[in-house]
Amino acid sequence: MSETSGTTANSTGIGSTRVAAYLREAILGGELKPGDRIRQEEVAERLGASRLPVREALRMLEAEGLTEHEAHKGARVPRLSPHEVDVVYRMRERLEPLALAESLPQLGPDEHAQLAEVQQRIEDNEDLEKFLDLDREFHMLTYSGCQIDPLMSNVTRLWNSTQHYRRAFVALGGRSRMWVVNSEHRLILDAVVRRDADDGERFLGGHIRRTRIELSHHPEVFG
């Protein structure tokens, strides 16, 4: 998948969106870790593009909270302190219930079925690595009815910026926490199907809060 270009190397641009997609996956996938520097020419060469679309891509990713920039010093994957991660979770605690409340009325039987299916896949899943993506898919699906861009882009940023620490936490906490997570997902799913916004906000808020508290007991995540 890496050799997007290969033969091309010609006509016109590789596309800054493609470069952005490549880097996005690299960061969310864990190949690029917080603190890692991203050299323009390196990724340009790897993708067979010039440095210009890379520059644009880095700026796009900055808007998504995946990179940070400093003039003449280049781009890095942001590193968050334990306290910063804690505050991001507090932000999620407050914002995501709002997104859920906005989304709920827009979700129909199709989305409900899809949600149940994803949740089932989470429970059947054994791969810790897969869990990350499935969990994200579940929550994002519950928000999929929320059309408010300023809200959804913020929520996405919060997930993005803590992705690395979520991964470390999942790898660490192992399967013991899974049971709790799945119970809470079931409660959220039930509230969604019942279209009960109050319950949804309550359960979701609690879900995120408990995760935050658990996380605060595991400083080794920030190794």
Nearer to its own copies, 87 or 213 (CB): 87
User: Which of 87-99 are b and which e, b meaning 16 or more Cβ less than 10 Å from the residue's Cβ?
Assistant: ebbebbbebbbbb
Scanning 52-60, 102-110, 177-185, 214-222 for contacts with DNA by CB under 7 A, the matching segment is 52-60
Q: Which is nearer to DNA, 1 or 9 (CB)?
A: 9
**Min CB(33)–DNA separation in Å:** 17
Contact pick of 35, 39, 87, 105 for its own copies (by CB under 8 A): 87
Please give the Cα distance from 56 to 59 (Å, whole number). Answer: 5
CB-based contacts of 29: which residues, under 8 Å, 6+ apart? none
Per partner kind, with CB cut-offs from 5 to 8 A, the member of DNA, its own copies, none near residue 144 is: none
Q: Assess 158 for contact with its own copies (CB under 8 A).
A: yes
Nearest CA to 58 out of 30, 86, 24, 25 is that of: 24
Shortest CB 26 distance to DNA, Å: 15
CB 138 within 8 A of CB 118: yes
Q: Element (H or E) spanning 18, and its range?
A: helix 16-28
Interacting residues with DNA (CB under 7 A): 11-17, 37-41, 49-53, 55-56, 69, 71-75
